[in-house]
Structure formats: C-alpha cells, structure tokens
C-alpha cells in the first residue's frame, strides 16, 4: 500500500448517532491531518498529529469531535451525537516532516458522511 | 489568520492555456502547492514550488510565484477535457490552508 487509506468511504447515519472514521497514513509519515470539506468549499483544517501527539485543534472541532492516533500510526476521528451540519467529506492526509521542513501532504479519498 | 483567495470559475477551450491565480496572506511557507480534485475524489498533489523560486515548469504545468505580492499562479498548457476539475492553491506550512478552489471547465 503506497497511499493514504480511509474507511469507510461512505457513511449514512441518523442524527444523534455516533460515528467513527479510520485513516491509515503512508507508513513512514509522522504527521497526520484531518480536514472537513463541505460542498463547494475547500478543505478546512480540523486537527493534526505529529506521531501520537495531537498538536493542534481547530476551533471548528467542537466537543463532539475527538481524534486519536494512539500508536503514531493509524488515526480515528469520532463524532458523537451527529447533527445534520456534520454532513461533509472528511479527508485525512499525511506527510513526512523532515529537516528541510517539507510538509507535502498526501490525501486519502475521504469519507463522505451523510446525517439524516 | 491565514487566508487564500482564488477565482471560483474558469472556462477555456480545449487546446488553449489555462491560468489559475491565487493570493495568500501567510508568507512563512517553505513550499507552496497546487492540488487537483476531481468530483467525489480526494485531493491529488499536482505540483509545488519552493519559496525561493520564481518559476517552476513541470511538463504542461508552469507555476509562477511572486513573493512580494503573495501571488501564486498555475498555467496549464494545451488544456484537455481531462483537466476539468477543481484546483486548490495551498501555501504549505505545519498545517495546509486551502482556499475555496477554482473550478476549471474545459470545452471541447
């Protein structure tokens, strides 16, 4: 596997339910990012990890959202008590932060969440 | 905070050149990227330019960077129908910030 993998690709859930998405980054990449993209907009930054440490969270990430990267490899993004406004594409990206500061990010195909 | 602005739409005829422009506010990035997104898909890295360069050519793609004006452009030569997509400018950094993207329509 040479790319970023996200599962599931699509998720339909009822309002009020909890959902969890998974992202498997490129294996040697130490940084992992989560973005949300709504129709007609560019991706909005949610949070990122360097190894297992969550270094920044956007104010977009309400208390209902939590992300983890327990072993510095795959990451999960959980949304509790989903609302219709959570319907969006959730994108994961990974990068290798090296000494040159190159933060070229490679993206997965995304998980499309629909809250009904 | 950081801001990235792009024109929302661009329409060109097949075979013509396309120029997509971007202005940004955060100038601390070492690299500046262009991504392409096709319908229902994730983002594909197209090309990037190092911040101390003015121009980079990569096959049909030419990236121009004006650091003073914080302006980045992407030129696609001999535009094809397969180039129809949304193009995002993304000044890199520890977190990549995206604009709303430019929707390129290529007419046959």
Per-residue pLDDT tens over the stretch B66-98: 999 999 999 999 999 999 999 999 886 656 778
pLDDT of residue B97: 79
Nearest CA in chain A to B96: A45
pLDDT of residue A19: 98
Token pair 């190092």: residue: B50
* Helical H segments across chain A, by residue range: none
Nearest to A32 by CA among A89, A81, A97: A97
Per-residue confidence band for A103, with pLDDT thresholds at 50, 70 and 90: low
Q: Who among B40, B41, B96 is closest to A105 (CB)?
A: B96
Question: From CA B47, how far away is CA A49, in angstroms rounded?
Answer: 24
CB B96 within 8 A of CB A103: yes
CA distance A80 to chain B (A): 24
Q: Is B97 on the interface with A (CB under 8 A)?
A: yes
Buried b (16+ CB within 10 A) or exposed e, B37-66: beeeebbeebbbbebeeeeeeeeeebbbbe
Q: Do A110 and B100 touch (CB under 8 A)?
A: no
B108 has pLDDT over 80: yes
% of chain A beyond a pLDDT of 90: 72
CB B38 within 8 A of CB B101: no
How do residues B12-71 score in pLDDT, each as one tens digit?
Answer: 999 999 999 999 987 777 888 899 999 878 888 899 899 899 999 999 999 999 999 999
pLDDT of residue B62: 97
CA distance B19 to chain A (A): 19
pLDDT of residue A28: 87
CB B88 within 8 A of CB B21: no
Question: From CA A110, how far away is CA B41, in angstroms rounded?
Answer: 7
pLDDT of residue A68: 96
Question: From CA B37, how far away is CA A34, in angstroms rounded?
Answer: 17
pLDDT of residue B40: 79
Residues of B in contact with A108 (CB under 8 A): 42
pLDDT of residue A99: 52
CB A45 within 8 A of CB A105: no
CB A24 within 8 A of CB A73: yes
Nearest CA in chain B to A46: B95
Q: Is A102 on the interface with B (CB under 8 A)?
A: yes
Q: Do B30 and A40 touch (CB under 8 A)?
A: no
B2 has pLDDT over 80: no
pLDDT of residue B93: 61
Nearest CA in chain B to A33: B95
């Amino acid at each position: 596997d040479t790319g970023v993998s996200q599962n599931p690709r699509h998720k339909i859930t009822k309002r009020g339910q909890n959902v969890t998405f998974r992202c498997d980054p490129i294996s040697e990449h130490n940084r992992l990012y989560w973005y949300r993209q709504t129709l007609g907009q560019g991706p909005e930054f949610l949070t990122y990890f360097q190894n297992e440490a969550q270094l920044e969270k956007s104010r977009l990430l309400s208390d209902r959202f939590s992300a983890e990267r327990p072993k510095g490899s795959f990451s999960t993004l959980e949304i509790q008590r989903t609302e219709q406004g959570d319907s969006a594409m959730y994108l994961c990206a990974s990068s290798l932060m090296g000494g040159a500061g190159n933060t070229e990010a490679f993206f997965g195909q995304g998980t499309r969440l629909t809250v009904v | 905070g950081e801001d990235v602005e792009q024109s929302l739409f661009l329409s060109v005829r097949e075979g013509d050149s396309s120029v997509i422009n971007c202005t940004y506010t955060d100038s601390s990035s070492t690299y500046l990227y262009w991504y392409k997104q096709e319908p229902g898909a994730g983002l594909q890295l197209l090309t990037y330019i190092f911040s101390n360069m003015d121009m980079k050519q990569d096959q049909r793609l030419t990236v121009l960077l004006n650091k003073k004006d914080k302006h980045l452009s992407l030129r696609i030569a001999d535009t094809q129908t397969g180039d129809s997509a949304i193009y995002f400018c993304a000044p890199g950094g520890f977190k990549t910030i995206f604009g709303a993207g430019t929707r390129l329509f290529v007419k046959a």
